[in-house]
Amino acid sequence: MTVAIGERTLDPVRQVMREVWTFREHDAGGAVLLEESEILSLRWSFRHEMRHLFARAGIEVEAEYSDFQGSPPAYGKEQVWVVRV
């Protein structure tokens, strides 16, 4: 099976990204047996939003990283949170 990511649209006001993902199943010779496309919609959250949501929910932030190696937070990177409920 192969996956191809096609058209991407960004809506910065709503903080939503939409992509068209096409999944293809191939036979042993490489011919396409089945092809399906789906739209993937993802909403992103900024760090200050996450901190606010945690505070509103009574969740204590113990640490925040930009990857699973423990790198410090950085703009545009992943968000890894360690929290206490």
Domain segments of the chain as ranges:
1-44, 46-85
Indicate whether 76 pLDDT > 90: no
Centroid of chain to Cα 2: 20
pLDDT, tens digit, 9 for 90 and up, residues 62-74: 999 999 999 999 9
pLDDT, tens digit, 9 for 90 and up, residues 12-61: 999 999 999 999 999 999 999 999 999 999 999 999 999 999 999 999 99
Nearby residues of 1 by Cβ (< 8 Å), 6 or more positions away = 23, 24, 25, 26
Whether this prediction's pTM lies above 0.85 is answered by: no
Q: How far is CA 48 from CA 44, 55, 79, in A?
A: 12, 11, 11
The whole-angstrom separation of Cα 5 and Cα 3 is 7
Centre a 10 Å sphere on the Cβ of residue 71 and count the other Cβ atoms it contains: 12
